[in-house]
Structure 1
Amino acid sequence: MASSPANLRSLYRSLLRELPPRPILASPRTPIHNRIRSSFTETSNSSSPSLHDAEHQAQLAHQAVTYLRAQRMYVTLVERYNPGMEMPQDERIRLTARRVGMDLPAAKAKKEEK
């Protein structure tokens, strides 16, 4: 049985791990935390949930965990292999030129400001 209480608890914790952390645990839950919690409590507390519905909900939760984990890994890899994404265009060009052994001349506007 894939939707046992232990498995549902594990899926719930996995979903919470993939969400951005709350700064202080004493702070109120975010709407997404409340929605996830309510969907899991409805599944486990319903008087006679059909086995098919419970299995379907467990599969959807597992897919959500897999998707969120993949998205987190994607963001990590993009940040790691594209370090200049957050830099301004001028700085990116200067660093690219330095990578091949060239130094760009200083811009006139910067000289005039000083």
Structure 2
Amino acid sequence: MSSTRALYRNLLRELPPLTPKPTSLHARLRQRFNRSADMPKEHAEQFLKYLQCQRVYVTLLERYNPGLAGDLDVEEHTRLTARRVGLNMPKTFKVGDEKK
């Protein structure tokens, strides 16, 4: 598939960004690639493919199920649920929104 250095760089791109203090995952990955006998190239390629698929999965999950992210308020969640089954929510009026 690719050289060891390119594979290592691709793995780092898929992981969360490095903080000022590297995480244990980054340190372990670096250690395994320094000693190339510890991580066979096929395992590293499989791990890279797994990380890429997980990223795509999370993207699709957020796109098609926005309520799962937990960042919607109750009204928005209700509106999206109604739209999913082909209904539109009626407009709600609040006190003070009346037109004269």
Whether these two folds match at TM > 0.5 is yes
Which protein shows a greater Rg? Answer: 1
Instruction: Please report the TM-score for the alignment, with normalisation by the length of structure 1.
Output: 0.64
1:91 Cα shift?
3.6
RCO greater where, 1 or 2, for CA within 8 Å and sep 6 or more?
Answer: 1
Percent identity reads 43
Structure 1's consecutive aligned runs of 4 or more residues displaced over 4 angstroms after TM superposition are none
Aligned twin of 1:101 = 88
Q: Of Structure 1 and Structure 2, which has the larger fraction of its residues in helix?
A: 1
- Change beyond 3 A, Cα 1:39–1:18: same
- Over the aligned positions, Cα root-mean-square deviation in angstroms equals 2.8
Choose the corresponding residue for 2:10, options 14, 17, 27.
Answer: 14
Distance in 1 of aligned mates of 2:62 and 2:52: 16
Ranges in structure 2 where 5+ consecutive residues have no aligned partner:
96-100
Q: Deviations over 1:16-52 (max 9, x none)?
A: 01001124xxx12111000000001011xxxxxxxxx
1:68 Cα shift?
0.2
Ranges in structure 1 where 5+ consecutive residues have no aligned partner:
44-52
Q: How many residues align?
A: 91
Instruction: Please report the TM-score for the alignment, with normalisation by the length of structure 2.
Output: 0.72
1:97 Cα shift?
3.7
